[in-house]
């Protein structure tokens, strides 16, 4: 059985963000939002694997894509306000970018298959 890298990376992102949030000082609303968006990336990708049809899978991937973008935005805010350092910011941003690119390609493929 082949590895599902998209699922693995999204789980890593949600886990890493949770651990980061436990170790930094930032407004509680910001921490809540980044936890919510990063865990939503993981949840939607996981749910897409059991989609009822390709259109359902596409919908979950598209939601995951939006949530990934939101997570990147919260990371940018945390970096801009000095809540996280540049190394932490780049590490998580790069993982978001990897997931985002994989989701974009997956969505494109699913859309082509639905035609």
For residue 35, is pLDDT > 80? yes
Instruction: Please report which confidence band the pLDDT of residue 51 belongs to, taking 50, 70 and 90 as the band edges.
Output: confident
CATH of domain 5-16+28-114: 1.20.1440.60
Instruction: Please report which confidence band the pLDDT of residue 55 belongs to, taking 50, 70 and 90 as the band edges.
Output: very high
For residue 111, is pLDDT > 80? yes
Q: What is the dihedral of CA 14, 16, 19, 24, to 10 degrees?
A: -110
For residue 73, is pLDDT > 80? yes
The mean predicted confidence, pLDDT, of the chain is 96
Reduce the secondary structure of the chain to three states and give it as a string. Answer: CCCCHHHHHHHHHHHHHHHHHHHCCCCHHHHHHHHHHHHHHHHHHHHHCCCCCHHHHHHHHHHHHHHHHHHHHHHHHHHHCCCCCHHHHHHHHHHHHHHHHHHHHHHHHHHHHHC
- pTM of the predicted protein model: 0.94
Average pLDDT over every residue of 50-65: 94
pLDDT of residue 32: 97
Instruction: Please report which confidence band the pLDDT of residue 115 belongs to, taking 50, 70 and 90 as the band edges.
Output: confident
């Amino acid at each position: 059985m082949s590895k599902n890298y998209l699922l693995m990376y999204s789980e890593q992102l949600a886990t890493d963000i949770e651990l980061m949030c436990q170790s930094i000082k930032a407004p509680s609303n910001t921490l809540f939002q980044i936890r919510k968006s990063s865990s939503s990336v993981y949840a939607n990708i996981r749910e897409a694997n059991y989609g009822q049809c390709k259109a359902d899978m596409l919908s979950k991937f598209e939601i995951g894509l939006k949530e990934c973008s939101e997570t990147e935005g919260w990371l940018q805010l945390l970096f801009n306000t000095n809540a996280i350092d540049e190394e932490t910011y780049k590490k998580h941003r790069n993982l978001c970018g990897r997931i985002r690119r994989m989701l974009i390609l997956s969505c494109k493929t699913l859309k082509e298959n639905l035609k």
